[in-house]
Amino acid sequence: MRKINLGIIGFGNVGAGVIKILREKKSLLSEKIGIEINVKKVCDKDIISKRNVSVDKALLTRNPKDILDDPQIDIVVELVGGINPAKEFITSALNKGKHVVTANKALLAQDGQELLSLADDRGKNIYFEASVGAGIPIIKSVREGLVANNFKSVYGIVNGTSNFILSRMSENNCTFNQALKEAQEKGFAEKDPTLDIEGIDSCHKLVLLTYLCFGRFIKISDVFVEGISKISTADVCYANEIGLQIKLLAIAKKEGNDLEVRVHPTLIPKSSLLASVSGVFNAIYVDSDLAGDLLFYGPGSGQLIVQDKTIRNLRSTDDFESRYYIRFMALDKPGVLAKISGVLAKFGISIASVTQKEHRKAHVVPIVMIIHQAKEKNLRLALAAISRLDVIKEAAVAIRMEEI
């Protein structure tokens, strides 16, 4: 039986997990693919600390060159994370004629075009299935199973931490901070959760999804990003009352010949399949011309990409159009609603519905509005003007709405 030798760089929790799976599933993998997968070398700065899997000391090294320079190693598995030295390891592996497996979404989002181009020049592949959606087979499905399709839009719940927090806020009527604390206690959130709750992790994954579905590598800076840290229990409750659910969505969709890419909290109908995705689960919804609407769902914690040549530009953030939910905290006095609606009208924004909620704090009440389709630029200008009114006591919360 043919044997494939792996060199693993990075022996933390993920690296230990990879070795454990390869060991436990060795016979099954050999039976299914007709190849023996052999871990020939494992590299890490720390080769002394105990892991949940035992490895022969002869396989361990602190020097990555023992893997990169070994002509018998066919595939390098990069599990270091971050940008450098991970990029140097991948570049060196490709230059030395080795295939690469990585789940490093931050690196691929920043330098993926350069690295994939190098792999193509060297006749090698970079496999990155686990970089988006963990175990969900979205990348292979788009690359191979849906290769003949043109995509109209992609909507993804691709960060388990944020989805867990929003789910808890909706199900348990708890605050953002309470839900975050629970996520950290359960190990679903890092001590510093910024990458997750501010949408940065979702942004990295959206860059890769956009490349896979539309064949265009975009810059991280091209993505409009807004996190969930400003979402309150009140916003979640108001959404529930009108049959909507708040989700942090990574969105890429075609509008004519333009492509818009954004990550932000989004109000979607409770009837939507994405609305039912709870806890740390991820889901990716794609709208394609041949296969139709597809949903890929699962736990979140040599390439063939077709370029969509009808896309000419990335749409400016100012030109994004959406319906919006807006919550104002205003003084409870006559004429307040007229002042707010007057400013909105000045910027061409029309109101679909208004609800004024009672509030226990004296003289300050929440005013919840749903507005018709409006441009992002006009909304931001309007909100800035409204914030300067003497009757407004807190920054407004605006959440975009999507019909999925």
Catalytic residues: 205
Sequence-separated (6 or more) residues with CB below 8 Å from residue 9: 43, 44, 64, 67, 76, 77, 78, 79, 80, 89
Decide: helix, strand or coil at residue 322. strand
If you search the block for the tokens 């959440």, which residue do you land on?
399
CA 370/CA 298 separation, integer angstroms: 32
What token pair was written down for 365? 């009440």
CA 180/CA 163 separation, integer angstroms: 11
User: Nearest CA to 150 among 225, 58, 257?
Assistant: 257
Angular region, 61: left φ>0, alpha ψ -120 to 50, beta rest: beta
Q: Calculate the alpha carbon distances from 153 to 21, 56, 83, 87, 201 in Å.
A: 35, 48, 29, 30, 20
What token pair was written down for 236? 């979640």
What token pair was written down for 235? 């916003």
HSE-up of residue 71 (Cα within 13 Å, Cβ side): 0
Phi, psi (degrees; rounded to nearest 5) at 167: -65, -45
β-strand pairing of 397-401 with 321-331: antiparallel
CA 285/CA 296 separation, integer angstroms: 6
HSE-up of residue 167 (Cα within 13 Å, Cβ side): 19
Q: Calculate the alpha carbon distances from 40 to 8, 43, 67, 98 in Å.
A: 8, 10, 9, 14
Whether 179 contacts 164, CB under 8 Å: yes
User: Nearest CA to 78 among 54, 98, 51?
Assistant: 98
